[in-house]
Amino acid sequence: MTSTGSKKNQNQNSWKGLLIWILIALLLRWQAVEPRWIPSGSMIPTLQIQDRILIEKITPRINQKLDKHLNLNTIVVFKPPKILIEAGYSDGSALIKRIVGLPGDKIKVSNGKLYRNDKEINEPWIKESIQYEMDEIKVPDFSLWVLGDNRNNSLDSHVWGPLPEKNLIGTALARYWPIRKIGPIRFP
């Protein structure tokens, strides 16, 4: 074989390898991990406007198949519920909030505090008391109650109601931008 033929085989192998890696990356992004950015202040102070995060997409799908729920306080990314689509939100948009109620939980807001099943919830990530009242609701089956960490400036379940679990896209995993805040998403 000539050196020209050998180089041609090397180039073909390089392209095949690159194509395989591109396909793996696309498959991972489509099925497992996806980058997102924070467009609003509804999750301040935990997440700031323009933060870049990675979301994990496998757990919500597995939980739905196993009839399990995500944990309370998990930060989730989801498709807007039907009521927001009817109000003008794009079906392709995504929102981010924190789970504060699971199916069967009784949730209310009174005197600036969140209550779950008649117990006041300690939320160290909240920086100011809630400036609205919310009568007690029972979270329906196959739904979650989600609120933004910036409670007084968040369009969330207290406005539009329960979030169907089928709308979940993924859970917030880690922040990768800004660099000084790189790491797992926990608390502010």
| Residue 113 burial (10 A CB sphere; 0-12, 13-18, 19+) | middle
Q: Which of 42, 143, 154, 157 is catalytic?
A: 42
132: number of CA atoms within 13 Å, CB side?
15
Q: Which of 57, 97, 143, 154 is catalytic?
A: 97
Query: Does residue 42 have an active-site annotation?
Result: yes
The residue behind tokens 């960490």 is 149
Task: Give me the active site residues, please.
Answer: 42, 97
